[in-house]
Amino acid sequence: MSPIDPAALAGWDPRAAVMELGGATMGTRWRVRFAAPLRLDLAALTRAIEAMLDGIVAEVSHWVPESLLSRFNKSPVGRWMALPPDFATVMAAALELAATTDGAFDPAVGALADLWGYGPTPRVGTPDEAAIAGVVAAGGWRQLHFDPAARRLQRLSDVQLDLSGIAKGHAVDRLAAVLAAHDIRHGLVEIGGEFVGFGMRPDGDPWWVELETPGMVATPIRVALHQLAVATSGDYVRGRHTIDPRKGRPVEHALAVSVVHRSAMLADGWATALGVVAPDEMIALAKARGLMVRALIRQRDGVREWISPALASLIED
């Protein structure tokens, strides 16, 4: 087992009451469970959470026509747009991940998502081959120019941003940060199946989370989220909606890919990227980066489970 981070025990109180809050955001639900400090303004905490989540949606949602991201996608090619801090944080991580994975993760996958009917406007049927080839040829993330020092972004051609493969993870990190700002040191936060756990439960147990295991294809795995996050990408809920930006087509092999990481944003992005690349490439990449990964991969004779060495060392007795 991995050693417990000393920060997980700071301020631990076995008499603390466990409280729970929740609501709707990003087309799904958010939920927090936490050991309540003695002096807690619950109304102020709730307002802070909702304001933070509403702010992120207003910035990076591709489903909201008036979001900053939607306005960027409609802006003239070549025009710089100033980015607020959350947007800039997600953008920097997304472009770094795109470079690391040679485009398996692509923040400019929006046109392909729209083409396949996974964007705000539903479409029926398979896209035309020429249309797919045209979008792929447009260049994707390489047509984005990000100036991190000035926090500004421009498109060099008519590519479309879609940050849905990483923005929810960032929102989970920010949700945990809001709790920390209200002196909450022990809790579990979630948005749509992506989690951050910190500290301990009052009963002395860690905050346990079960990795998503659709059907009965593998034995469920529980992990203790000691200052850790977990995100899962797959097609078992919404169908085969994960697109390989390099080929312009949905992937078929990735049933579910879970990544445990210090950052929910990076867990989210890596889960998306690893679900795109071919299984052998996924295994090599996860090992090379020391990532904690559980993947359920479709094969001709069924579903194969793969657990990375880094994750195996976390969950072994």
Question: Which positions make up the binding site for Mg(2+)?
Answer: 165, 268, 272
CB 98 within 8 A of CB 246: no
- The set of residues, in sequence order, having a beta carbon less than 8 Å from that of 224 and lying 6+ positions away, is 197, 206, 207, 208
Residues annotated within the binding site are 165, 268, 272
With 0-12 CB in 10 A as exposed, 13-18 as middle and 19+ as buried, what is 296?
buried
CB 156 within 8 A of CB 41: no
Q: Which of 216, 314, 305 is nearest to 260 (CA)?
A: 314
- The set of residues, in sequence order, having a beta carbon less than 8 Å from that of 3 and lying 6+ positions away, is none
Instruction: Note the helical H segments in the chain.
Output: 42-60, 68-74, 85-100, 110-115, 129-137, 167-181, 264-276, 279-289, 309-315
| Region of residue 102 (phi > 0: left; psi between -120 and 50: alpha; otherwise: beta) | left
In the chain, helix, strand, coil percent, each to 5?
35, 25, 40
